[in-house]
Structure 1
């Protein structure tokens, strides 16, 4: 038959009309004209392959789709924010993943060296890095303590509501910025802090107990009982060889974190108390492992390399070559 095509399907023939030929002017379009025709086809009135009605239906569909998504998101956020207290966590102390056993942290710390603090006593450029890290860490302690809710605290001072205690950075003795925190000498300083746990209240040792270092016991006995409500801090070499390679430690402004800084209640401008530990004359050209631990009745201590609790480990290496 004329103008008809035949397709063989299972040994039979089905008559199908031929597709209408394209207009001659369409067969000889340039690339630029083809692109323009793909954007808008004047023969079919289509834009990007769709008619105006098709684009309208598609637009209405996506408008409804995204409106429903926005409604679900807004409802979820509303429920979430109604159940979140920005001041305190919902799960606290034993109910939380953090638990009730605070750990210790130290500064300066470098992500490149990890727990190792290394510098060359004869090359000031190697110690400048650590001085800068301590400066950055102490910057909040220098800058924001002139706010309205700061209060000078003491063991006999009652803290006002929504107030926080001042931390006097001028009381760090030889671990001061003027002394470059000891990194211009062979007795560098490390700053120890207790990790914050919301609502945790320390239970103090007001009398020496078995296992306390002798120097801590002597420091406690020198203080009146009214000033013994502290979380005590002690540092020492981890192994006998490490203990032999230092001349001891000095602590500024004292041997612990005073109790009036606790509990931590996420009050604006709160800063964790610090103990600056001066490591006296560590033997040069050898890595010395040092452990500092906190002492309180409700701080569980566990040393060792793994699963450390209530303590912190760091290493000192001072080159003299």
Structure 2
């Protein structure tokens, strides 16, 4: 009898175990679901990290721009009036090899820092202060500042284009800071007046802007830059120079001094070329800005 019950119990146990044994299909399906859920969680975390990173970089970029802007505004009082070139080092030299990033990063960073004031992002975020101005603007409301954003400096002299480094066509930012009590007056070129100056400016003249020109300091320097007759030796942006409307209101916090980006297209390699740039206004240095150091600036370019 005992043997009979043992056999019955064993039979029931086998049936019971068969009943609770996991189905192979269900097990495979469960693993697949878990895999999909795990993959979705990983993707979600990656997207979340990417969003956080983008937000951080955006805020950090704006913060750095504001810090640089604040420093430049604080240092403005230390600047003497005149025409200033940004890009050259403290010795007035731009020297690098387009093939060696170790030689051009300092130059690149100097331009990046100098352009912080003209950040499109910072100005667009403060439209209660910055307003659009043009040659028809005759008055700037108190507390307002005319916008001057990076797009005005042309496509070739931009951060994403490495300021012309890769092509061996370096860019220089020229900033004009006249005396506080002075409103620049463009030269009059009508009726054949000021012919020599007109030759330097060419068709970039405007009665509503202070023109600027850059050339070789000596005849030898100028000849070195004339190696390619089919290429403009120098490009200017804005082409007409420094618009007069930027001088209408200069005592507002956040004021932007007008600037022109200049690109040198024909500097030969392995040869030092000395450059002189001049802002042309008839009330600068008694009508001869090229003869003084205030409204003319000099630097040199050496491409390796």
Among 148, 152, 162, the residue aligned to 1:171: 152
User: Does the 8 A contact of 1:238 with 1:290 survive in 2?
Assistant: yes
Distance 1:266 1:231 in 2: 20
TM alignment of 1:84-103, pairs within 5 A: 102-103=81-82
Residues 1:140 and 2:125 are matched in the alignment: no
In the other structure, the counterpart of 1:297 is 282
Among 182, 189, 192, the residue aligned to 2:174: 192
User: Does the 8 A contact of 1:205 with 1:229 survive in 2?
Assistant: no
Query: CA offsets per residue over residues 114-163 of structure 1, 9 Å max, x none?
Result: 11110012212211221111111111211531322111101112422221
Distance 1:299 1:128 in 2: 35
In the other structure, the counterpart of 2:61 is none
TM-score calculated relative to the size of structure 2: 0.64
User: Does the 8 A contact of 1:175 with 1:189 survive in 2?
Assistant: yes
Among 264, 269, 280, the residue aligned to 1:284: 269
| Structure number having the greater helix percentage | 2
SS in 2 for 1:276: strand
Distance 1:232 1:251 in 2: 10
Distance 2:222 2:301 in 1: 12
The Cα shift of 1:263 comes to: 4.1
Distance 1:303 1:202 in 2: 15
In the other structure, the counterpart of 1:151 is 131
Unpaired runs of 5+ in structure 1? 1-88, 90-97, 221-226
CA RMSD of aligned residues (A): 2.1
Residues 1:122 and 2:76 are matched in the alignment: no
Query: CA offsets per residue over residues 62-111 of structure 1, 9 Å max, x none?
Result: xxxxxxxxxxxxxxxxxxxxxxxxxxx9xxxxxxxx6xxx4210011323
In the other structure, the counterpart of 1:201 is 183
The Cα shift of 1:201 comes to: 0.9
Residues 1:315 and 2:295 are matched in the alignment: no
The Cα shift of 1:184 comes to: 1.9
SS in 2 for 1:212: helix
Residue-pair matches, total: 210
Could you list the runs of 4 or more consecutive aligned residues of structure 1 that deviate by over 3 angstroms after TM superposition?
Answer: 301-304
Unpaired runs of 5+ in structure 2? 1-76, 227-232
The Cα shift of 1:303 comes to: 4.9
In the other structure, the counterpart of 1:271 is 256
Distance 1:254 1:169 in 2: 14
